[in-house]
Every structure is written in structure tokens, then in C-alpha cells.
Amino acid sequence: MKSLLDALEYKKRDMHLYVLLISAPLLLTLYWYYGNARFLLKIVPAFQNNAAGDIYAHIMQFASFFLLTFLLPLVYIKFIRRESPAEYGLQMGDKRYGFLFVLIAVPLIVAPLIYIAAGMPDIRAEYPLSKALYQHREWVLWYELAYVVFYYIAWEFFFRGFLLFGIKKYWGAMPAVLIQTISSCLIHLGKPDGEILGSIVIGILFGAIALRTRSIWYVFILHAAIGVLTDVFVMLR
């Protein structure tokens, strides 16, 4: 009688691929339901009784994302797979190409486009994620620092590092780029429609840049610039 594993065409040698693929729905679902600011505000009384509690909750949201999508995959790579994180984009790679791309893209493309987007009603309604920043501007620097260090480093490592470079070893560059793009697009659901559609283009473009430079750091700079400039321009306009 044919077993379930036979029906799945399970191969032990492909276990790493299975872990890579299941990590996206598993870790992102845990984050979506139990790591977000809404849930944290609900279960932490100290956040509810503090005027800046919404800011604290969002900083904790960024930290939870860092735990799930950076620290856990990193532990898996180093201590279970016994591989170098450099193989998953945690290296500087092609510095000349990477920094040149960033120096051109941020001032000439990213900043002007984000400034325009910051005037759109749906973007202004969405960002900054913590609306308490309007009343507590003294927290803006710390909030954005947590946003960059916890959220954007983890985001780029998980999608354009762990998934992209890991899947590429099995199925090649283009399937890897598309799979991480699908995953990163789906976590945008609920955002403005333009942002969701843009995440598809950005996912493919950033995937290509990460592969070309063999590094996540240049797309991290680009993505962090998009996020921080969106908050800044929205609050200033």
C-alpha cells in the first residue's frame, strides 16, 4: 500500500528545501497573529495604560519580527545546517556594484517617488504604523531606529537571504526570486493596493540585486530608506 510519504514524493536529501518552503507560511503566520502591535496591546496591560503604549507595541512588533525571521533562521543555518550565513547573503559581496546602485537609486529614484507617495491619502492613513508618533515626536528617532534594525534587517535576511539563496541552490535563480516575491507580497495584504502591487516589482528587483551583489545589505539600505522616508515625509507634509 502506498504511504503518504510516497504520495508526497518525500526525499530526505531535500529536507532543507522543505524547511525553507514551510518557514514562510509558518513564521509569517506566527508574526501576523501573535507578533503584531494589535495583539501586543491586547495582552500587555502596561501598553494600554501608557500614552506612548502604541509606540512601545510597534517597537515590540519589530522585535518579534526580528526574532522569528532573523534569529530563528540564523540559528538553523549555523547550528543545524552548520553553514556560513555568508552563503545566505550576510556578506558585503560586490561592494562596488552595490554601493554604486544605492548611491544612484536613493537620491534620484527612491526619495522623489516616496515624496510623491507620501501625499496620497491611503499612504498617509497607513504610515507611520504608530499614530502615537504624532503626539510623541521625541520617540521618532528611537522608533525609526528599531524599525531599521529589527524590521528591515530581518525582512531582507529572510526574503532576500534565507529564502532566496537557499531555494536557488535547488531550483535556480528565477524560481527562487519568484517564490520569495510571492511570500513578501502576501505579507503586504491589507496595505494600500499600490503598495501591494509595488511589492511584486520590488521583490523581483531586490531579488535580482541581492543575487548580483551576493549580499542582502544593499537591498536592505534601499528598503530601509523607503520605509523611513515614507514615515518622515508623511509626518512633515
d(CA 25, CA 29): 6
Phi and psi, residue 119, nearest 5°:
-90, -5
Among 40, 61, 64, which Cα is nearest to 50's?
40
Q: Judge whether 207 and 137 are in contact, CB under 8 Å.
A: no
The per-residue pLDDT for range 131-176, each reduced to its tens digit, is 999 999 999 999 999 999 999 999 999 999 999 999 999 999 999 9
d(CA 181, CA 206): 9
Task: Provide the whole-model pTM.
Answer: 0.96
Question: At 48, is the pLDDT very low, low, confident or very high (cuts 50, 70, 90)?
Answer: confident
Q: What is the mean pLDDT of residues 199-216?
A: 98
Q: Judge whether 118 and 234 are in contact, CB under 8 Å.
A: yes
Q: What is the mean pLDDT of the chain?
A: 96
- Name 186's Cβ contacts closer than 8 Å, sequence gap at least 6: 28
DSSP classification of residue 138: G
Among 146, 110, 111, 129, which Cα is nearest to 190's?
129
d(CA 121, CA 225): 20
What radius of gyration, in Å, describes the C-alpha atoms of the chain? 19
The per-residue pLDDT for range 72-90, each reduced to its tens digit, is 999 999 999 999 999 999 9
Q: What is the mean pLDDT of residues 12-32?
A: 97
